[in-house]
Structure 1
C-alpha cells in the first residue's frame, strides 16, 4: 500500500509538526498511530472543556448549618417545683426516632423528680435530634396530662410536605416531581429541599430560592419555590489560540444551551468548535458535541455524543504533500447519585458507559491499524467539602475496557507491551482552593492534581496527556503521553474590581502559576519523561464578556523534545 510505503518517510515530519520525539524503535505504523491518537485526544479534550465552560458551575458544598438551629420549646406550668416521674412514654410519629435516644432519655430521667427545666431538656433533645438530621419542622411537645400519675407522655409530630408551589412566572419550566427527591406527604427534610434547589439552579435560566410556609394542618408545610422567569435559550462563544500547528492554532467555538424547554428541568446543549483565522485546508480541525442532562432527585442522568475531525497535510522533502485525516465519534451515558450531603460536604457515586470509534486515513488510504472501536466503563466516587478555610474536592475512579458494543477484543496471546482494548486503570483527581488576605489584599490559592495508574498498555486516547493550557502550561505543540502519569497545577491569583460609573463594574484577577507533570509507558522505546512550566496572566470580566491573556514558558523539557520558547495566549468569551 502506498500509505504503508510512505510511513517511514514522513515519521520525522510528524515529530516536527507535533513536537514529539520519535525514536528508531518507534518507526512503523505504531508510531504514526500514536500521533493520530494524540491529536484525537487533544480534540476530544478541548471540546469537553468548551462544553464544561458553557455550563453553570456546580455550586460549592453548602447548606444550612443545622447545628446552630435551636428548637423553640414551651412547657406549660406543672403546678409544682417538680413531679416524680417513674416512666416516660414517647408516642406520635416516632418511626424515625433513634432507639438509642429513646433509651437514653428514659434511663436518665425515669425515677427522678422532674421540673420545668428537665422537661424542656427532654423536648429539646428530641426535637434537636430531628433537626440535626434535616427534619427541621418535626417537633416534640407535651400533650395535656396529669403528671401526678408518674407517667410523662411526649408526643412527636413529624413535619411533612403538604404541597409544592412555584412562583415567579417560571412554573412551567420546573418539574417538581422529578427535580426534588421528596413528594407531598413525605417527611420534610431540608437536605432534600437543598438538593432540589441545586438541581433547579444548575440551569442558567434559573435563580430559585426556597420559602417554607405553614400548611393547612399542624405539622404540614407548603414548600414555595420562588424562581423569576428568564429566557431559556443561551449562547456562549469564545475565540482562543490554544490549538496546535498540526490542526490549526486559532479556534472559535459556540455553544447553544436550551434550558427546560420540555418542562423536565432538562438541559440540552450543542457545541461547535473549529479552527479559524486563517481557515486553512491543510491544517484544520472541527468538532461538534451534543449533551443532554436530566436531573431526578438525588440522581443526574447525562448523555453525550461528539464527533471530531482533523486534517493535517505533511510536506515531504521532495515537495510532495501527504494528507493525514482522522475522525473520532464518542458516545456515553452517565448516572451520578448524591449519596451524602450536609452544610459543608457532598459525596456522590457515578457510573459511565462510553464508546469511541476512531478512523484514520493517510494519503487517501484507510489505516486499519490506527482505526478501532473501544468501549469503557468508568466507576467513580467524588466528594466536595469545606476544609482549612477552603474548598477541597476529590474523585477516585476505576476505568475498564469492555468487550461490549462492538469493541475491539484483545487476543488471548496479546503481548503485554502492546495496547489493550480490555485495559484497567485507576484515576485520581484532587483540587483545593482557598481565599486569604495579605495587607488587606485578597488572594486565592488553588492547586489541581490529576493522575492515573494503568495496569495494561493503553491506546493513546486512554493515556495521560501532559503539555498544554489544560495540563502543564508553557507547551503547545510539545506534548508527552503515557500509560501512567500525573500533572499538578498551582496558581496564585489576586482578584480585583473597579467601578465604572453607574454601570456594571469591571472585575478581574492577576495570576501566576507553576505546573509540573510526568508520564511513563509500559512499552519500551516510547518516550516518557517530565515537563514543567510557568505562566503569568490577567483575566478581565465585564458583564458577560471575559478576556484572558497570558504568557507561559517551559521550565524543564526532556532532551528529546523541542523547547518552544515563550508562548503568548488569549481567550475571549461572551455569553448571551
Structure 2
C-alpha cells in the first residue's frame, strides 16, 4: 500500500560534498516511493505463500501391495504411447525400475501409479496412464498416457469482478499444469478482497477437466487508511497527515490501484506535500506496474541579514514489468524490469540550483526471492543504469568530473529476515541494505544511511552516499490484551557505513530505539524513542527524541 512521504532535513554531515547535499524532498521522496512500492509487492507475495492450499483435487489412491499368491503374466516387453509432455529418459527410468518378466495385477498397478506420480511431480495433475488392453501371457504390456486437457473454467460466483482470461491465459484445450493453475489463482488472490479456492473436476468429455473457483471469504473492494505522525523535519514541519485509498479490480481485470497524499500541518508558509498513484495489471505469469508521484516543499533559511525562501518539487514516473520465474510451495522467484524518469527542481531565493535539480532516466533489472524457511526470507538484487534519453541530463555537459553522473552504474542488495518464536510470542526482524557504485551519484540515487527507515536516532542531519550499508535489527514481543487489542514492546539497534564516493573517507554511525505499539483491527498507535549512539561530528548536536504515529484502517 502506498504511503505518503515524510520530508528530511537539509542539513548534511561533514565529508559529504556540497554538490550532493540533500534537499528536503529528493532522496526521502525517492526512498519512500521505492520502499512502499516494494512493501506492497512483498505483502501480496507473502499473502499468497501463507494461504492454505487452494487447489483441491481427489487424493491419490494408496499403492497396491503385491501378494505372493496372486497370479502373474509373462511379459515380453512394453509399449508406451501418448506421451508428449515428459522427457522419454525420465519415463524409461521409472519403467525399468518397475518392469519384470512376470507381473501380477499389483505390480502393474504400482507401475501405473509410479507413472502417474511422475506426471504429478511435473505439475500435470490430471494426466493418467492406463492399460490399452488386459495383460496376456507372452504379450507386450501396452500402456497409453491420457495427458488430458482443460475443458472449461467457471466461477461459482459470477458476480465477482475478476477476469478468468487474464488469470488463466491460453490454458483451455491444453493439459492442465499445476504451476499455471497456481499462478492464475495467485493473480486473483493477490487482491485483498478476493480469496478463492479451486476444485479440479472431471469434464464432460473423456480426458477433460473442469475448474470450479469458489470464494472462501469476501471483503470490500475499497479500503482506506489515514495516519498522523511527527516524523517530519524542523524546517518544513514535524507533524504530517497521510491518506491512502486502494481499490481492487477497478476494471474487472484483476488489477489494483492505490492513491495517496500527505501534507505537513501547521504554518502555511512552510510545508511538505506529496501525492502518489500506483497501478498494477496482471496477465498470467506477467504483471505490469505503473507508478507516478510528486512532492513539493517550502521553508525559510535564516541568514545573518535576512531570511530567504527555499522551495522545490520532484516528479517521478515508473513503468515496470514483472514475471514469475520459479515457484514451489514455500518459494517465489520473480524477475523485474523497470524504467523510470525522475525530475527535481530546487530553488533558494528564487535562484535555480542546477546541481541539486537532476533530471534522470533510469533502467533497472532485479531479482526478488521470497522464501518461507525457518522464518521469512526476502532478498532483492538489482542493477540500475542511468540513460541519456527521455530528457535526462547528459554527463558530457558536466562542468566537472567530480559532479554527480546522470549516466551512472549502481548495484544494490536488500535482505530482510523475520523469525517468529511461537513459544515466547516474539519476533526478530533483521534488514540489510548494501549499495555500491563506481560513480558519484545524484542525490536521488544515493543510499539513505540515517532515517526512520534506515539507521534510527538521527533526524537533525541526513547522511547518504553512493556506497554504503545499513543493518537494522528489531526484537519485539506480542501480547494479546482484551478482545482484538494487542501490545508489542520492542527494542532496536542499527549500524550504518557510508562512503560518499569511491576513495572518500568512510563514516560509521549507530543508533538505537525503544518502542511500543498498540494494535487493533481498525487502528494502531506507535510510540518510539530513538537516539544516536555514535557517528561523525555533527553540525547540530543530536539528542534523543520521541516519535509517534496514529493510524486508522477504514
In structure 2, how many angstroms separate the alpha carbons of the residues matched to 1:240 and 1:170?
A: 40
TM-score by length of 2: 0.90
Paired residues of 1:168 and 1:229 also in contact (CA < 8 A): no
Q: Give me the whole-angstrom Cα distance separating, in 2, the residues matched to 1:368 and 1:466.
A: 24
Structure 1 residue 89 corresponds to structure 2 residue 89: no
Question: In 1, distance between residues paired with 2:198 and 2:363?
Answer: 38
Per-residue displacement from partner, 1:520-571 (whole Å, max 9, x unpaired)?
022777x751221111112222122122211111111212454422221122
Match of 1:268 among 216, 236, 257: 257
In structure 2, C-alpha distance between the alignment counterparts of 1:56 and 1:211, rounded to whole Å:
27
Aligned to 1:431: 416
CA pair 413-327 structure 1, distance change in 2 beyond 3 A: closer
Q: Write the mapping of 1:4-153 to structure 2, written as runs, cut at 5 A.
A: 18-22=10-14, 26=17, 30-31=18-19, 34-36=21-23, 39-47=25-33, 49=35, 57-60=43-46, 61=49, 71-72=60-61, 81-92=71-82, 94-110=83-99, 112-153=101-142
Equivalent residues of 2:261, 2:276 under 8 A apart? yes
Tell me whether 1:295 sits opposite 2:274 in the alignment: no
- CA change 1:376–1:356 in 2 (3 A) is same
Q: What's 1:475 paired with?
A: 458
Task: Find the aligned partners of 2:205 and 2:64 in 1 and give their Cα distance.
Answer: 22
Q: Which residue of 1 aligns with 2:203?
A: 215
Measured after TM superposition, the shift of residue 386 of structure 1 is 2.4
1:228-264 per-residue CA deviation (whole Å, 9 max, x = no partner) reads: 5543222121111111112221111111122212111
Is the Cα contact below 8 Å between 1:177 and 1:183 reproduced in 2? no
- Residue number in structure 2 paired with 1:447: 430
**Per-residue deviation at 1:418?**
2.2
* Partner in structure 2 of residue 315 of structure 1: 302
Alignment of 1:279-428 (within 5 A): 279-318=266-305, 320-387=306-373, 389-411=374-396, 416-428=401-413
Indicate conservation of the 8 Å contact 1:86/1:111, yes or no.
Answer: no
Q: The residue matched to 1:122 in structure 2 has which SS?
A: helix
Asked if the contact 1:468–1:479 (Cα under 8 Å) also holds between the matched residues in 2, the reply is yes
- Matched with 2:163 is 175
Q: CA deviation at 1:47?
A: 4.8
Using the alignment, how far apart are the partners of 1:303 and 1:135 within structure 2? 34
Query: Do the aligned partners of 1:553 and 1:566 also contact (CA within 8 Å) in 2?
Result: yes
CA contact (8 A) 1:397 1:426 kept: yes
Q: 1:54 to 1:105 in 2, by over 3 A?
A: closer
Unaligned runs of 5+ in 2: 1-7
Q: Does the CA contact (< 8 Å) of 2:11 and 2:22 recur in 1?
A: no
Which stretches in structure 1 are left out of the alignment for 5+ residues? Answer: 1-15
- Conserved? CA contact 1:51–1:255, under 8 Å: no
User: Are 1:547 and 2:520 an aligned pair?
Assistant: no
Instruction: Determine if contact 1:87/1:111 at 8 Å carries over to the other structure.
Output: no
Moved over 4 A (4+): 47-56, 62-66, 73-80, 412-416
The residue that corresponds to 1:3 in the other structure is none
Shift of 1:366: 2.3
Structure 2 counterpart of 1:205? 193
Structure 2 vs 1, CA of residues 311 and 413 (structure 1 numbering), >3 Å: closer, same or farther? Answer: closer
CA distance in structure 2 between the partners assigned to 1:301 and 1:358 by the alignment: 26
1:184 and 2:167 equivalent?
A: no
**1:513 and 2:496 correspond:** no
Task: Indicate yes or no: 2:223 matched with 1:224.
Answer: no
Q: 3-state DSSP class of the match of 1:293? A: strand
Match of 1:485 among 468, 474, 494: 468
Distance 2:418 2:125 in 1: 32
How many residues align? The count is: 541
Q: Please state whether the residue corresponding to 2:355 is helix, strand or coil.
A: helix
- Corresponding residue number in structure 1 for 2:5: none
Question: Is contact 1:512-1:537 (8 Å) kept?
Answer: yes
Residue 501 of structure 2 corresponds to which residue in structure 1? 522
> C-alpha separation between the residues in 2 aligned to 1:73 and 1:155?
21
Q: 1:357-415: per-residue Cα shift (whole Å, max 9, x none)? A: 1111110222333323110001011111222x112121111100001111111118875
Q: Which secondary structure does the structure 2 equivalent of 1:195 belong to?
A: helix
Cα deviation 1:133-174 (Å, max 9, x = unaligned): 222222222233232243111222224322111233643x11
Alpha-carbon distance in 2 for matches of 1:563, 1:125: 72
